[in-house]
Structure 1
């Protein structure tokens, strides 16, 4: 997800997106722990998306 797409969303939509990404991260961690995860780069992508959402949320909150 691109930061420009996130900037167009409101605070509630960003919070919902963050919750979905955190659930996805949890699922990927569980898959990794049980040796079911084949594409480990997904963890990195989700982690960066979480950081991107949090950054946009903080920027909107400070205005």
Structure 2
């Protein structure tokens, strides 16, 4: 009985064991940066014209 128990334990233990996996890194990636003006435009309030254009661009199912 012990060899069967050990085989079952080994089988299922292999499914839950933490594996070391090579994951891609971001060390060599070049990300674009926003300029100060572009960053500032992200925090300004929406204009009435922008809101109206966004609402009118929606179809009747949204």
Shorter-chain TM-score: which interval?
A: under 0.3
Larger helix fraction of residues = 1
Structure of higher CA gyration radius: 2
- TM, length-normalised to structure 1: 0.27
